[in-house]
Amino acid sequence: MRELILGGARSGKSRLAERLAAESGLAVTYIATSQPLDGEMNTRIQHHRARRPVHWELVEEPLALARVLREQAAADKCLLIDCLTLWLTNLLMLDDPARLSAERDALLDCLNDLPGRILLVSNETGLGVVPLGELTRRYVDEAGWLHQALAERCERVVFTVAGLPMVLKGEAL
């Protein structure tokens, strides 16, 4: 089963994904896409690490997400990917449109063939004003297109606000 969990910053999306992973009864692999590029991001990463059970496996991959998913997915595993918009940012910062396109296409192409449970966490950025600046607008556009394509491929899509999950597609929680 593939699930997309969307929400704004501090909406509770990661906490929901972690709860669903823990309740799955499967071995959990947490796939982290963030990079500790500054002190604030390092603090956020430490906060997430402290919340996770110590027996969960951790894979850190900022770019080649589809490759890692293919390597890690198994019928008896739950993969929790947090977060897709950080992954997208990492690719955008490479300033290599071909790499971004290739990695996005690889992710979308592999999703339907992955065994086990897949929890995809991402920030919903399309609810605000149109941002100033070409890179920021491109980020919002790319995230929106990615979310639409993922929502088509996922059996369940959840939007989280104030810690409350709203199921947009699929079975209720």
Catalytic residues: 48
Whether the Cβ atoms of residue 82 and residue 33 lie closer than 8 Å to each other: yes
